[in-house]
Structure 1
Amino acid sequence: MNGRVRISALLTVLALLLPPTAAVTASAADAPPVVKLSKSQAGTGGSITVTGSGWRARALLMILICGQSVPSTGVRGGTNSCANADGRAVTTDAEGRFSRKLPVAEPPVPCPCAVHVATVTGAKAEADAVFQVAGHAVEPLPAEAAGGRLSVLTDTRLDGSSGLLTWFGAPPTRTLVFTVGNVGTSAVRNPVFQVGTAHGVFAPQWEEQQWRGTIRPGGKARIELPVQLAAGAHGDYTVSLKYGGKVMAEQPWGVGRPWGVPLFWTLACLVVPAALFRAGMAVVDRVRPRQTARHRGLRLPELALRLPGLRPREEARHAARSSSTLPWFTPDNDPGTAGRLSAPHDDSPTSRTSPTAPTRKGPP
């Protein structure tokens, strides 16, 4: 008994110590986002102020005026039923709130109308507020066809991966996989789905794809539909699935940039000029063949005469023979240089007499 009392007292103390904002934050996170309008009705050319709360912090939102839409059923035709050209984007603050002025424009389909606010990236969230465009046509919503009705049972996913060709600009491809169930009273045969791809905040481009098969009442089927983007596509895309005029699921798809394309052009700008240069040099070599042949046709004696330090074989032998004839003569004791190195002398006949000849003694 004492142990239970202690535990109860401890829990009471902890409840008093915990901040009361924790429970409020948890409940606010679970609550759906809210959208409020400054006016419930306005004519074309005017404007209204759209405020919201309970959104994800720092989230990018898109605000549109859409036809054939009420908060209970949502936008029937997707963003194709909205005035996309006059939409506005806004980013929430740290507390998930925003305020944005929106011009009033007529949607492409009749009212009932609503101001539709949805997240652009990240987790999907949306909210609608009833709004009447003054002077715009109003028609009742089309009743749902009796019989078979399909509903998505599981979250959609995109299977597949990008290959090497996609890195060089080939169209990215994926497979949209989802499971649908027939919640109607009759079988659905060969249903036709619409698969749309949207880039950023732009409206999706829809393409009809038919699935071959029959889904009985209460049954389910796993469906795979191919999805393909344009060549060179990159960035953030959204794949939407629509059946019977109602958007059933959306799936984000981030496509990487094809870096192989700029790499290819860079290599082409380097290789092509180099190849042209090599081809031009080859043509130049072929244009002047005579000059090349004349240089190649030089004989060895001519080459020896042209190059300094080289002499023909005969001159080399003569020089070797003359150098080996009188090896004991040097420039100082050469007989030919003795007269040139002696003192000046007289060229008269008496001086030509040899100094060693005997002199004649006697009367003159």
Structure 2
Amino acid sequence: MNRRSSRLLTVLALVAALLAGTAPWAAAASAAAEKPSVTLSKSQAGTGGSITVKGAGWRPDTLLMMLICGQSSPSRGVIGGTNSCANSEGRAVTTDTEGAFSKSLPVAEPPNPCPCVVHVATVTGQKAQADAVFQVAGHPVKALPKASGSGQLSMVADTRLEGSSGLLTWFGAPPSRSFTFTVGNVGSTPVKNPIFQVGTSHGVFAPQWEDQQWRGTIKPGQKAQVKLPVELSAGAHGDYLVSLKYGGKVLAEQPWGVGRPWGVTLFWILLCIVVPAAVFRIGMAVVDRVRPRDRRSGPSRSSRPSRPSRSKGSRASNGAGGRTVRLPKVRPAPQKPAPADPATAPNGTTQTTTLPWFTPDTGPTGPERPEAGQLSAPHENSPTTKGNT
């Protein structure tokens, strides 16, 4: 009876421990479930083929990126970052509700020689990655570089981005900052001139890693403050994430919010206003130059001659069509005072004188003969006599 009771108590304790998750195999199972894994349908394939990549243990409904990378191993990761991967042939996949996936991946040669791996990493959210060994048939193979001091540095202080944007950044110049952090040497050997990898990512895109070497030596047990320059492309704006990697491990991440270059927007707005206005002005000037003149309207005002002053008798009608002919204005000659008439007597009486070449006796006879002392002039309606021609 006692044995049965003890066995029953043992079984109940094991069931309770299993339900609570404190049993050793339950902890191992949960740890295995939390760690993502990747398996391949083939361990080797040539360019142009494809393989099936399966994964388990990932977060549910998570976007992943699959790449074939060179100079990599599951223990050391992708040494050269995504620059060592065939990015153009990569594929994206989303895990299901249980954190598993299955996706076909085309085989392509990475830019760096093998050993190669199929690298799977999360795009958004908490960082997680897994690698599986893969051999690209016909691709060159080169031994991995020796790790000198890799994994000896650890982050001992928070990171920050120092610096500010200037006026040129407001007009589209590349934004730049200094990525400042403090690391310590937890190994037994000094680390000299360590090479860090700084990557910048925007949105759902994977980070673009860049190798930057820090000049200096960090002895065992010592700390050092490191500053590395970070620069984005011209006109960049939005939310960026700056990541720091050393020895294949991500040490720190820092968000970076970049403002929009409003100066460029203002420039394009002014350009869209000024250029059409200038083209309109030029077009109107050209149209005014080339358009035909109205013949009925006569010459333009600028080409019309100045009108002479009008006076009485300066216009005459020819009686045909009612047209008016303008006659030139004739100024009368100034009148000179008449000389004293010798034929006028001092008492006011008029004396008759005759011209020396004409005498009353030689004038014509008849009823139309003028009286003596009067001058003869042709009548207005008399015909004009002409001499011999």
Partner of 2:107: 104
Match for residue 204 of structure 1 among 205, 208, 224:
208
In the alignment, structure 1 residue 88 sits paired with structure 2 residue 88 = no
- Write out per-residue CA displacement over residues 297-355 of structure 1, whole angstroms, 9 at most, x where no aligned residue: xxxxxxxxxxxxxxxxxxxxxxxxxxxxxxxxxxxxxxxxxxxxxxxxxxxxxxxxxxx
- Write out per-residue CA displacement over residues 165-185 of structure 1, whole angstroms, 9 at most, x where no aligned residue: 534323222221222122344
In the alignment, structure 1 residue 221 sits paired with structure 2 residue 230 = no
- The aligned runs of 1:37-52 (5 Å cut-off) are 37-52=40-55
Partner of 2:265: 262
Displacement after TM superposition at 1:243 (Å): 4.9
Judge conservation of contact 1:114–1:131 (CA < 8 Å) in 2: yes
Partner of 1:315: none
Judge conservation of contact 2:195–2:211 (CA < 8 Å) in 1: no
Displacement after TM superposition at 1:160 (Å): 5.0
State the secondary structure of the residue aligned to 2:265: helix
CA distance in 1: counterparts of 2:61 and 2:151, whole angstroms: 41
Displacement after TM superposition at 1:126 (Å): 0.8
CA distance in 2: counterparts of 1:48 and 1:148, whole angstroms: 33
Pair 1:269–1:110, CA change in 2 (3 A):
closer
CA distance in 2: counterparts of 1:86 and 1:276, whole angstroms: 48
| Equivalent position amino acid for 1:103 in 2 | P
- The aligned runs of 1:46-85 (5 Å cut-off) are 46-85=49-88
Displacement after TM superposition at 1:255 (Å): 3.9
Pair 1:240–1:101, CA change in 2 (3 A):
same
Judge conservation of contact 1:83–1:105 (CA < 8 Å) in 2: yes
Judge conservation of contact 1:80–1:203 (CA < 8 Å) in 2: no
Aligned length: 268
Displacement after TM superposition at 1:158 (Å): 3.4
CA distance in 1: counterparts of 2:180 and 2:195, whole angstroms: 15
Match for residue 127 of structure 2 among 124, 140, 144:
124
Match for residue 195 of structure 1 among 186, 193, 198:
198
CA distance in 2: counterparts of 1:243 and 1:147, whole angstroms: 7
Pair 1:80–1:220, CA change in 2 (3 A):
same
Displacement after TM superposition at 1:31 (Å): 0.9
Between 1:215-224 and 1:251-260, the stretch displaced more is 251-260
| Equivalent position amino acid for 2:52 in 1 | T
In the alignment, structure 1 residue 234 sits paired with structure 2 residue 237 = yes
Larger radius of gyration: 2
Judge conservation of contact 2:245–2:252 (CA < 8 Å) in 1: no
- The aligned runs of 1:1-364 (5 Å cut-off) are 27=30, 31-145=34-148, 149-154=152-157, 156-160=159-163, 162=165, 165-197=168-200, 201=205, 204=208, 206=210, 208-211=212-215, 213-235=216-238, 237-243=240-246, 246=248, 248-249=250-251, 251=253, 253=256, 255-271=258-274
Judge conservation of contact 2:218–2:224 (CA < 8 Å) in 1: yes
Unmatched tracts of structure 2, length 5 or more: 1-11, 289-299, 307-389
> TM (normalized to structure 1)?
0.58
Pair 1:162–1:58, CA change in 2 (3 A):
farther
- Write out per-residue CA displacement over residues 221-279 of structure 1, whole angstroms, 9 at most, x where no aligned residue: 222222111220235645344557x4544635454543442233113322565588899
| Equivalent position amino acid for 2:38 in 1 | V
| Equivalent position amino acid for 1:145 in 2 | S
Displacement after TM superposition at 1:86 (Å): 1.7
Judge conservation of contact 1:148–1:186 (CA < 8 Å) in 2: no
Judge conservation of contact 1:151–1:248 (CA < 8 Å) in 2: no
Pair 1:147–1:217, CA change in 2 (3 A):
farther
CA distance in 2: counterparts of 1:256 and 1:91, whole angstroms: 31
Pair 1:106–1:268, CA change in 2 (3 A):
closer
Unmatched tracts of structure 1, length 5 or more: 1-11, 295-364
Pair 1:148–1:44, CA change in 2 (3 A):
closer
- Write out per-residue CA displacement over residues 28-83 of structure 1, whole angstroms, 9 at most, x where no aligned residue: 89812222222233233221111223323333211011223232222222222222
User: Among the aligned pairs, what percent are the same residue?
Assistant: 66
Judge conservation of contact 1:59–1:119 (CA < 8 Å) in 2: yes
> TM (normalized to structure 2)?
0.55
- Write out per-residue CA displacement over residues 134-185 of structure 1, whole angstroms, 9 at most, x where no aligned residue: 3444444333236994343456443456566534323222221222122344
CA RMSD of aligned residues (A): 4.3
